[in-house]
Chains A and B, each alone.
Chain A
Amino acid sequence: MNIGVCISHVPDTASKIKLSEDHSGIDYTGVPFIINPYDEFAMEEALKTKEKSGGTTYALSLGKDTVKESLRKALATGIDEAVHIKTELELDSFSVAKNLAEEIKALNLELLFLGKQSVDFDSGSVGQMLSELLGMNCITNCVSLEINGTEIKAEREIEGGREVVVTALPAIITAQKGLNEPRYASLKGIMAAKKKTIAEKEAVFTDSRINVLKYLSPQGKSSGKILGSDAGGVKELVRLLKEEAKVL
């Protein structure tokens, strides 16, 4: 079986997000990038599935040349092949999905994993869009997965519980934390990955259905009130919550 994982190359979650001077974009200068944390779960599941049922694993990433860093890490972690779909543009979820769909068709992928969302633009839409574009069955936000032949049983996290979802291959699974424990790249893997070539394709769909007007910084809070750490302070806190904030 050909198994794919889509990888998003995102700013380290510890980094502050700075806007460009005219607020038309984000200033990434000096910001370290990582594999989207949810894609780590997706990648682990792809590797586990291959170990169980055989096949070839492919990592796909769309973006600037820098996404190759994350693809290289994927190869080091055990993914067999990597494809970089090149674009300098910041595309909306739909164009990202359209470009990925072309490649997924070309590679004849039967099972595809993604993170439940990419922690940069946080839309969480690409998996579902791909499923519509490719006629694959998509289950989002998965915390457990069983594949038996062509049958799939997954649990997806919802508010206050889980849904057990059944479907069949070809399928797309988006990963939530809890699905598995991602492995680390081995030294041997890192050395081997250095020698591998990353295939390159050009992004063909570049129109966006969204027009970004500007970026804003969240409004900061005016500094709060610090209260005493004794019974008096606690009384005052409760009084403020009741009378000033009116939330009790």
Chain B
Amino acid sequence: MSTETVIAFIEQRENEIKKASLEALSVCVKLADKSNKKSIAVLVGGTFDSYDKISATGVRKIIHVTSPELNLYSASAYAEIFANICKEETATLVFFANTLLGKDLAPRISVRLEAGIGMDCVDLTSEGQEFIATRPIFAGKALQQFQVLTKIKIFSLRPNVFPVVTPGSSPDLETVRKDSANNNLAIKVSELKKASGKMDVSEADIIVSGGRGMKGPEHFPLIETLADTLGAAVGASRAVVDAGWRPHGEQVGQTGKTVSPTLYFACGISGAIQHLAGMSSSKFIVAINKDKDAPIFSVADYGIVGDLFEILPLLTEEIKRVKS
């Protein structure tokens, strides 16, 4: 076996391991096995009794760096710790999940490792030492296919695109736990403010979005009830965010969040190019709009042309009925 390794950064928040990190780790393990290199999962912060979720991917080594100071994100400390591990382990290939933490950290690591980097990749194929990666640009209006030219290569993978693969724990799994002192806390998260228990569009498997066709913020309970029934997140068009009907964290589109859930409902949304850019890579799209010529129908798998004030309550009832 080569002494070179393939490493995935595993993100935890409040001791919860991100699913997107397990997706990145699954790619890491697959490519490591293929090139006869050791796969390593690196976790910073948090307190864990078991690493079951991580080991289930078949990874060969888990490195967990702990300190109470590191439970919340510190860009400076995480960058230093993770880049040093990559160097010690002679990583040639490094993976991140393109979450908000991954987006923040990965470019810092690329400078420290003198590695070329591809952000937000949605496809990665390998031929021997060569990798061809694909990433959406212009919020998905086009795609770019590229190679990374440096010896060490970093790829940050878009969440919800690559599957989590769990062949089971590797028989020679090695687990290392290190306490970390003298952390560089020049940049430090001092507090986590959670939006009141709501699911975020960027992490949701189903999204129900409302646009100007909702006529006013007082009608959004129609959207929220459907979302609750489905266990979905609530999204919004920019028009309703700018009007102050919804918080900007819910905005989907080129200047909001780019999402690719399994199922996306667009209710009273016309489908402006900036909105489509952020959601057209969803696996299934349902459009409800009273205008049969609305551009949203050009990307929809299923559409209903009609008044959403009549359709949404019927839809919520029918889904409840089917689910029970």
Binding site for B on A (CB under 8 A): 11, 13-17, 19, 26, 37-38, 92-94, 97, 119-126, 128-129, 131-133, 137-141, 155-168, 177-178, 208-218, 221, 223-231, 233-235, 237-238, 240-242, 245, 247-248
Contact = CB atoms under 8 A, between A and B. Distances in A.
Contact of B145 (A156, A160, A215, A247): A215
Contacts of A155: 193
A176 B104 CA distance: 13
B57 interface: no
A178 B299 CA distance: 29
A228 B304 contact: yes
Interface stretch (B33-41, B164-172, B194-202): B194-202
Contacts, number: 254
A contact face: mostly helix, strand, loop, or mixed: mixed
10 contacts: A94-B111, A97-B111, A125-B106, A138-B108, A157-B249, A159-B99, A163-B192, A210-B146, A216-B143, A228-B304
A234 B318 contact: yes
Contacts of B144: 121, 212, 215-216
Please list the 9 inter-chain residue pairs (A to B) with the smallest Cβ-Cβ separation, ordered nearest first: A229-B306, A209-B116, A125-B107, A132-B111, A128-B107, A160-B200, A17-B141, A164-B191, A161-B194
Interface residues of B, number: 97
A229 B255 CA distance: 32
Contact of A238 (B145, B190, B322): B322
B145 A214 contact: yes
B305 interface: yes
B133 to A, nearest CB: 9
A94 B113 CA distance: 12
Contacts of B75: 128, 138-139
A218 B307 CA distance: 31
A212 B141 CA distance: 17
Contacts of A211: 146-149
Contacts of B76: 137
Contacts of A168: 186
B286 A237 contact: yes
Contacts of A158: 100-101
B263 A165 contact: no
B121 to A, nearest CB: 11
Contact of B150 (A159, A209, A245): A209
Contacts of B303: 224-227
